[in-house]
Structure 1
Amino acid sequence: MTGDPTRHVVVMGVSGSGKTTIARGVAEATGLEFAEADAFHSAANIATMERGIPLTDEDRWPWLRSLAAWMDAKADDGISTIITCSALKRTYRDVLREGPPSVDFLHLDGPAEVIKGRMSKREGHFMPASLLQSQIDTLEALEPGESGMVLDLGQRPEELIERALAWLDIAPAESSVAP
């Protein structure tokens, strides 16, 4: 492990809020290693959601622990990360914090109508729009003591990425700096 501390960022919010777009933008600007939390779901979890059934906490615990373990392994290797994860409840975020030394959260939040519109346009995703309300009902806002900020998903992605970068205060990656 290198002597420099690593940073670990979770872009959170309900499905369709734009987590992947913002996380990829921050990763490209900073060099943080990107991971899509959906790729860590078990086949059983994906099948459950495809059938329009919300996941239970019991379904989510192994998934959340695998994300925390991935971030922790990257921290051990001296690699900073950014992942997408709904992280809907404080208890879920607590599990994510069990991995690396510290985790910052960027919460993408906005009107359900905007999110529904986005979900209706995307193709090939296992999460149906019919589960959106269950996620909205489950969502717990960031609490005092949690390192994070709320971003209004009504803003353009470029603006959200700029705000996230300013709050995170991470130096740009060498490849993203103009010569």
Structure 2
Amino acid sequence: MAVHGTGPATPDAQVLIVMGVSGSGKSTVAALIAERLGWTFIDGDSFHGPENVAKMHAGHALDDADRAPWLARIAAWIQARLEAGESAVVVCSALRRAYREGLTRGSRRVRLVYLAGDRALIARRLAERHGHFMSPLLLDSQFAALEAPGPDEHPITVGIADPPALIADQVVTRLAQEREAGR
């Protein structure tokens, strides 16, 4: 399980969940956000059990029963960060609202960063990606499962057409603007 960075403990700690379909750039953007903020980073894929990895590698979509223990492990990790007063960034597809509700547990200290992109761009990216266990054949199932976050979930929504560094900068700027506005 790769964890990078250890930010200072604070009572106003926050956890960002960088979400979106496979190939949207979640891991790259999340690592850059964490680096810029000096926060802990972890890729939610590291919480998958070997059976889930094998299933996805074979081109089979996970079902809710497959995802439940994975999401529970991520939710526990998020809660532990908040209880420790440690701000962090975690990658998790979090495609369905019900998944996000289980991850955020209604806490305003857990924020969604939704990387939104069109199917054609993401399909190109997946075709160029090597060494990842997620089969490009699962892209349609990812889009079929995707329930984009609604305004009531207070997401930071960013398009993925820009380079990852620029996307990360946009997120960090938005967080700073919200802090200044007292949100």
Provide TM-score, normalisation by structure 2. 0.87
- Look up the match of 1:50: 57
Supply the AA of the counterpart residue of 1:21.
T
Deviation at residue 98 of structure 1 after TM alignment: 2.4
Contact 2:10 2:86 in 1 (8 A): no
Residue equivalent to 2:103: 96
Segment drifting more, 126-135 vs 73-82: 73-82
**What is the deviation of 1:106?**
0.8
Q: Hey, what's the Cα distance between the residues in 1 that align with 2:91 and 2:9?
A: 25
Query: Counterpart amino acid of 2:125?
Result: R
The answer to whether the Cα contact below 8 Å between 2:29 and 2:167 also exists between their aligned partners in 1 is yes
Q: In 1, distance between residues paired with 2:37 and 2:111? A: 15
CA distance in 2, matches of 1:70, 1:28: 19
Determine whether 1:149 maps to 2:156.
yes
In the other structure, the counterpart of 2:80 is 73
Q: Whole-Å Cα distance in 1 between the matches of residues 148 and 114 of structure 2?
A: 8
TM-score by length of 1: 0.89
Q: 1:78 to 1:122 in 2, by over 3 A?
A: same
Q: Counterparts in 2 of 1:1-179, with a 5 A limit?
A: 4-98=11-105, 102-169=109-176
Matched to 1:19, the amino acid is K
Root-mean-square deviation over aligned CA pairs: 1.8
Cα deviation for residue 169 of structure 1 reads 1.8
Q: 1:101 to 1:111 in 2, by over 3 A?
A: closer
Aligned 8 A contact 1:72 1:99 in 2: no
Distance in structure 1 (CA, Å) of the matches to 2:159 and 2:26? 12
Structure 1 residue ranges (4+ consecutive) displaced by more than 4 angstroms after TM superposition = none
Change (3 A) 1:6 1:96: same
CA distance in 2, matches of 1:33, 1:45: 25
DSSP 3-state at the match of 2:153: coil
**1:4/1:43 CA distance change after superposition, 3 Å:** same
Task: Look up the equivalent residue of 2:105 and give its one-letter code.
Answer: E
- Indicate the larger mover: 101-110 or 9-18: 101-110
Unpaired runs of at least 5, structure 2: 1-7, 178-183
Q: How many pairs align?
A: 170
Distance 1:60 1:3 in 2: 31
Please give the alpha-carbon distance, in whole angstroms, between the structure 1 residues aligned to 2:9 and 2:115: 32
Task: Provide the rounded CA distance (Å) in 2 between the counterparts of 1:3 and 1:50.
Answer: 39
Could you tell me how far apart the structure 2 residues matched to 1:100 and 1:121 are?
37
